[in-house]
């Protein structure tokens, strides 16, 4: 029996819902995993150093798998298309492994780290199975560039809203679910919160399977060999400029990796992360809605260069104004959120445009492997952010119960300001060499 067709608007809504669920879960993990490990699983500073290495190696391994996952997607043919089967069959494994990351057993630190390492590696593989097909699906649903840009903007905007809800709400959910904690948050509370967020997030994610259809013209494409797919990928110079600029700009994401720990070090109050998180996420949401309008006025290269310049300047200003004035810091972080939100929308749009351009040149559409490069660089950026912040945190000697010094605070603050500033600055060169504009 033929599947029901959906209007462009309905499919856009379902893609937004799916992306929001996925983003909410990913935010929960990336934002609170370090807090959980340090404050509730009681991993020492030496243990955190080991965890940082494990996470970095696992993410690099996982990122390297993305192009191969993309090529497999490009060769897949089924009655549901080449992308949607991966959406539905990856949801449960991602939910289960995500929850396990926050369910470390009450045993020795070594066994805790081993358990976490195994779960983290498996989670990364499972997450690739859902992430690469999802981003590829946006291009496979919409052929019109305007529809695609609008959808990417809406997805990014509502992902930011989901990020806000999880960032602001997760600590309260964990506290509410900390039964027997006497009003204090417990490790068990975080475990139950992780289970709840995982089930909700991946349940919403399945809307990308049930509420979308891949374009019929793409279904008629013959499967292309691995050699042709990779040969076409390496001919796509504009794509590589976007990827290189993104990787060099990894510092944009350090505040997401270490912001929750920073507020504990700087203010001895993790609740302040609610304020900082709200500032950056508000900026990201606004930027996601503004990006399509800006792209009608200026080229994608101009907008992404502008976002990088803003990120450079305002991170420098934030460092020299310090973190004691919280309202001022929130204002500067809001501007950084604008910069990050613009980057995320324009980066995805530039990759989609590069895919269309190489298809016109070669006749080969390798959207799976090309969009896998988006997830590849996103993971690599996250890896570098975690690695850099983890190194800085280990260098300070900070762990639960230690006396926090001014030098500790300054070093951690430098890691979320000056390092991102330098990163944004060097990323501008590859973006300036991007020759394909919308």
**Is residue 98 within 8 Å of 123, Cβ to Cβ?**
yes
Residues sharing a CB contact under 8 Å with residue 271, sequence separation 6 or more, in sequence order: 171, 263
Alpha helices in 363-417 (DSSP H): 367-396, 406-415
Alpha helices in 268-366 (DSSP H): 273-297, 300-321, 326-362
**Is residue 170 within 8 Å of 200, Cβ to Cβ?**
no
Burial class of residue 293 in the structure, from the number of CB atoms within 10 Å of its CB (0-12 exposed, 13-18 middle, 19+ buried) = exposed
Secondary structure class of 315 (helix, strand, coil): helix
pLDDT tens, position by position, 16-48 = 999 999 999 999 998 899 889 988 998 888 898
- In sign, the C-alpha dihedral spanning 358, 360, 363, 366 is positive
Cβ atoms within 10 A of the Cβ of 414, count? 12
Compute the distance between CA of residue 202 and CA of residue 101 in angstroms, rounded to an integer. Answer: 16
Per-residue pLDDT band for 1 (boundaries 50, 70, 90) equals: very low
Is the domain spanning 14-212+225-432 CATH 3.40.50.11540? The answer is no
pLDDT tens, position by position, 392-438 = 988 888 876 788 889 999 999 999 999 999 999 999 999 999 886 44
* Among 221, 229, 347, 197, CA closest to 287: 347
**Is residue 266 within 8 Å of 413, Cβ to Cβ?**
yes
pLDDT tens, position by position, 65-88 = 777 777 777 777 788 888 899 999
The structure's pTM equals 0.74
Residues sharing a CB contact under 8 Å with residue 180, sequence separation 6 or more, in sequence order: 186, 188
């Amino acid at each position: 029996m033929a599947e029901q067709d959906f209007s462009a608007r309905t499919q856009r809504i379902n893609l937004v819902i799916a992306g929001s669920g996925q983003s909410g879960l990913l935010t929960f993990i990336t934002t609170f995993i370090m807090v959980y490990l340090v404050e509730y699983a009681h991993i020492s500073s030496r243990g955190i150093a080991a965890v940082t290495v494990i996470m970095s190696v696992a993410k690099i391994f996982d990122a390297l798998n993305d192009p191969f996952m993309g090529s497999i997607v490009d060769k897949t043919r089924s009655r549901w298309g080449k992308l949607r089967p991966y959406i539905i069959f990856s949801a449960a494994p991602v939910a289960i492994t995500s929850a396990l990351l926050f369910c470390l057993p009450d045993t020795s630190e070594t066994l805790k780290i081993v358990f976490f390492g195994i779960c983290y590696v498996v989670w990364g593989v499972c997450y690739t199975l859902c992430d690469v097909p999802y981003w590829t699906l946006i291009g496979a649903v919409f052929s019109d560039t305007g529809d695609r840009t609008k959808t990417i903007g809406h997805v990014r905007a509502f992902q930011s809203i989901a990020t806000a809800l999880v960032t602001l709400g997760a600590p309260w959910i964990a506290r509410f679910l900390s039964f027997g904690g006497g009003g204090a948050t417990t490790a068990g509370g975080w475990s139950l919160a992780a289970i709840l967020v995982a089930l909700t997030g991946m349940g919403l994610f399945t809307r990308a399977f049930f509420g979308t259809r891949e374009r019929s013209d793409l279904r008629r494409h013959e499967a292309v060999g691995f050699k042709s797919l990779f040969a076409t990928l390496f001919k796509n110079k504009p794509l590589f400029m976007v990827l290189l600029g993104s990787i060099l700009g990894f510092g944009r994401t350090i505040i997401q990796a270490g912001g929750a720990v920073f507020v504990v070090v700087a203010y001895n109050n993790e609740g302040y992360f609610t304020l900082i998180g709200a500032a950056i996420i508000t900026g990201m949401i606004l930027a996601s809605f503004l990006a399509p309008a800006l792209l009608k006025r200026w080229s994608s290269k101009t907008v992404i260069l502008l976002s990088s310049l803003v990120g450079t300047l305002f991170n420098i200003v934030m460092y020299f104004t310090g973190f004691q004035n919280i309202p001022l810091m929130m204002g500067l972080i809001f501007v950084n959120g604008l910069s990050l939100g613009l980057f995320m929308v324009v980066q995805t749009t530039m990759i989609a445009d590069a895919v269309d351009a190489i298809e016109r040149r070669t006749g080969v559409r390798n959207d799976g492997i090309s969009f896998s490069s988006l997830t590849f660089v996103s993971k690599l950026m996250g890896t570098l952010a975690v690695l850099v912040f983890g190194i800085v945190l280990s260098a300070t000697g900070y762990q639960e119960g230690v006396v926090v010094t001014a030098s500790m605070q300054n070093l951690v603050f430098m890691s979320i300001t000056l390092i991102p500033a330098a990163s944004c600055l060097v990323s501008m060169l590859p973006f300036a060499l991007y020759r394909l504009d919308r």
